[in-house]
Structure 1
Amino acid sequence: MTARPTNILESGSKLKKLLALSATALVMGAAAASPSWAAVNNPHALTVFPDRDMVVAENYQNGIDMRIEVLRNGVVIGDTGAARTVAGAAGSGLEVNHGAEGNPGPGDCWVGATPDIQGGDVVRVTTPAGVETTTVADIAITSGPTEDANGNVVVGGRAIAPGGGQFAAGELAEEVRDLTPRWRGEPDSIDYVGATTDWQAIYEAPFSDNAVQEDGGMTEAGRKDSILTGGHSIIWANGAGNETTISELGEPGGPAAGCEETAPAAKTAMSSVSRDLINTANANENLVVSGVATADITNVNIALGGQNFAAAPANGTWEITVPASALANLPQGPSNLVASFTSNTNTAPANQSRTINKDTVAPNAATASPGGGIYNTDQSVSLGSPEGNAQIYYTTDGSEPTAATGTPYTGQQIVVTGSQTIKAIVVDAAGNSSSVASFGYTIDRVAPGLSMTPATGSYDAAQTVTLASDDPDAEIRYTTDGTTPNRGSDPYSGPIQVSRTQTVKAIAYDAAGNASQVQSRTITIRTQSTTTLNVATADMKLGNTRAIGGGVSPNNSGGTVRLTIDRPGTLTTITRNLTLNEFSRYSTSYRPTAVGTYRIKAAFAKDADNLASTSETKSFRVVR
């Protein structure tokens, strides 16, 4: 039979739950119910091994921030500092001071010093979800295992509930483990001794009912040897089974293997600094430094940034508060915090130090590419920060982002398909947040309308061309030479005066870049015409013929001139429509049929290009 193991785990394995409470858990008649302690929320579980100065947090989310502290009389005496949960056989969490595998990582060892965990201490676990605590049960094995006169094996100890008295029924169990051969057993009974806080567990010979797990072929003698030489534990667990204290007979305390250099056993030590980073979020909070001290230590001094703060230990612990006003005087960057001790026996330990980093400079705001604006196609937005080693958090619903509520930006394209506001902050490595940057996007795929007056046509006088869009913010560009307008054409700022024949073309662009259809108007301004009449005015004999001619300028070849001959007396007026030749000339002849005075005029009717005109009236007499 091998000696009792010093580790409750099998070689190479990760920590496992020591036991599910035995069916022979302590049953007591007069015990008062335990007080309500701060809850550990299921499925989370906290197990404390005070003899090993070890704490195990299990069944948490993997990879989250976690800090475990041990407090005595409200003073932090043990601290892991900032750590992150890791995956294990019993779910993700931390195993503090269990024995580092390889190089210790954050949370494997206590920081600065290994606390001497005792009954009544409080273990506090802080995660992003909140704070959970459990109070270490004051339990221990103080006697046995020994064989009594009847051949039974007896184990005894103490179990003091918070505030004194006995634990509630069902909250205590005792067990023994041996590894070679593999055997685990529980006592036949475990009871308080009368009204005291001492308990006694009895393994009754021939030990046939004690085995919970054993290798095949074990004899009564083998079981008895395992009970006498195996590793005994007394266990307290709350009703939910997720707060547990396990006291193991003979287990040594102090730093576990791998933690000796970084966390020596705490005698006189600086155990905890409430934070080692000062940023904008906590700059107005005090800094609390605490630790433990032996009886000879009369004073503890904290020096930081040329300022000193002192306190005398009380009941083996000390705590010093550095006010926020003193932290405001620290320069940006690292500062050395030094704890020194005064002993009345001149045996004070060496000074201990921690580095306090200060960064209260907020990073510059986030940038976006493309920037906010109005677009006519979907946009793929990238966010950026000029701050190295910073994290961007963003929202797409217009709400204000925080590190807790925003989506972490990891380089992904944020696709904007409609009107949307992206808001972003930058959080630097120190936890400082930038101001909120807001980028508003509007996706507008509707082209603006464009109207133009007057209509294409010919006009007797100069015209005013007016352009208008149904989008009041649209930009209108136009040309007057018949070319198609574009972004580089003249901007429309008011009515366009057209005093000669011109073709005006226009296009409207909205803020998103959508373009209207090109509108075109040809405005023709008629020019003044002149009509001439050539006819002799001398008297002529009745029966002769008189030549009549003339022209219209500017050239209006193919146009029509209306010739009117007003005859004397009761003769009716004669009209003739004459076509202008290629030279814009007309000609005809007329033979009067009666004597008298004849009056003649020529008129040109306006057309698309020219205004109307009338010649002077000429007359002649016809005589016999």
Structure 2
Amino acid sequence: MSSSAQPSPGRRLLRLGLTVVLSAAVGAIATTGGASALAAGVPAAPDNLLVFPDRDFITVEGYQDHIGEAATIEVTRPGVGIVGSAQGVVAEGDVAFEVNHPGGYCWGAGTGLKVTPDIRPGDVASIRFGDTAGGDTRVQDGFVTEDAVQNGTTVTVTGHLGAGVNPANIEQRIIEPELTATAVGRRDVRALPGPLTPAPKGGYQSGLSVNGDVFTATYVFDDAAVAHIAANASLGERLLSWEVTDLIGNRQGVTIAEFGEPGGPGMGGCPNGPLASGPVGPTDVVAAKVPGGVKLTWTPALAIPGTPAITGYRATAVGQTMTGNEQVEVGRRITGQSARGTTITGLSDAETYDVEIASVSSVGETFPRVSVRAVTDTTPPTVAASRSSGSYAVPQTVTLTANEAGSEIYYTADGTDPLIADMLSPTAIHYAAPILVAADTTLRFVAFDPSNNVSVVGSRTYTITNTPTPDAPAFGSPTIGTGQVTLRWTSGDPSITGYGVQAYDAAGATVGALAETTATSLVVTGLTADTPYFFTVQAKNVNGWGTPSAKLGPLTPQGAVVANAGPDRTGVVRNTRVALDGAGSTPGATYAWTQLATGTTNPIGATDPDRVALTGANTLSPSFTLPFYRYPMTNRPLTFQLTVTTAAGSRSDTALVVPAVDQVAIGTASWKAGDFRVTGAGSVVGATILIHSGSLAGPVLTSTGVVAAPPLAGGTFDVRLRNGAAPAARPATIWIESNRGGIAGPFTVN
């Protein structure tokens, strides 16, 4: 499949969280740390990154608030850099997309890193949307080390656990579809940390122990024949390990190590792995005709992180004239990754040559090679210096650049000419990196292009006074008044003799002249009320003005009428009273609070499900009760606008109230005639759960409550409808909603 292949929307891979935990035992959640907060960077449920290091593929789950957006997946190796990357578009469904798995994207899709990474423990897989990070998973150092061993009805699986793996956050599985026809009744058997425990569906008991860096999973089957099936499983042994478990038992940052699975491309058309890929070729290749040959220059190639080092280059000139079925080919082998050029000699001046160059490594050469046409060039290059001549208070770094690729620059720093009678002088230095000018210096420089055309000699003279100007002061907290702003700043430089403040409008244009003061504060007056401004501050000493600070703002001076709706509120619990606060507004005015449709300037509709009833809407401090959640309500912020009116006019300001949303998850959902049961978990004990058929807009099948399940910080729910109370037909899917705002679904009913 090509790298642009689209993943299959909605395809389910694994449900790694509550299906396992709730069906096994609530206590299993406690062994993972239960209430511990998500580690920094790890995605929060329902978003997740699942890494399969043995097959070098990644599953992206969730991210449904980014449907239709392109996401970038990167695998970063500490001390090495990015060893694999791909872009994919988030699709609707539990699986947003996959990389290096049939139905998904190839590594390198949408990026320039055309290699399938050899994912290893310690690597970090991350997702981002543009420049916005979406979470990451650190690949865990845990895996099965040998095939399962059978001894009668007992099967054992052993493996390795690295020092960074939490031994409570692991689960071992044996995958074999034939087990579904046995007393096990499912396609796999599983072992969690702890003593032997009967499986929920019966057929075996299992447990898992850890001794140092070795784990042992033990399965005791009711039947030796079933033990034989498990010990010889066709799909093999796996170890699941994860970074954290959230409050409701979701496993986040998951690594799934699959014993015996090969790595590399997961489907046809995907790039080779790092040990089967030829190196990237050099760039900026220029081939110039010289007497009897071709002079080649290039920018050295850099090996893709995780691939073998580049050891050199192979350059070949191929004559265009065909004699019989042959063309003349003359080449050079160049040793060293840092080589920047060569000259192929022994060529005919009457022939036209195509030139091919490839990087060389232990796994082969660049394919296809980089091809260029040898050309005759009579135009001399030009050289530019990044700093103009002048006096500078501190040492300067000067960069020299030539306008022709492949040109070589030489310079002197003692004022002598780098050329003597068209030959390089003995004092000329080959330019390879920016030049530090720390004292009074005259630089002279010249460039040779690949055809040996010579530039005009350039010259720059620098005076370094070593008397620096001050660094920019640091702004403190400003005070906003009527038509004015009070600015404050700090600086510890004793050489400072004064400060300057510059105002800017929203478009970045200066407003007024630089305002100077010897104090560390300034009241900037004469500003237009209700207009945003930005400000910089800079310091001066005997050497002059230093660099201005970063802009502070926007700061908006008040007018004759001030409307202040107070701070935004976040994490407001539903079914609690919320008091708005307009105390910072003009006193003695007329006040009117209005709830707006969030994201607009329009009053919220009378039938909008997010509308609340304001008490005291014409006072400075109205209040309302944030209601329990009930679809079609949303969890969007509520927007409240305060309008203040006096004889001088009216002004408005808004404040947001953001509801706190609990987490809920469905563990199991099963139906048979006269019997319907749903289990799950929630992060708030006492929350009421509604179970819908088909969608959140579908009929409510039943309701239940979240009850405490110590030692969990949250709780669980378990509701069962029998006989006439059960749905007459099996619902295909269900959704759940909590009166505290959490929702989950769709979930397939078995």
Assess same fold via TM > 0.5: no
TM-score for the superposition, normalised by structure 2: 0.32
Greater Rg by CA: 1
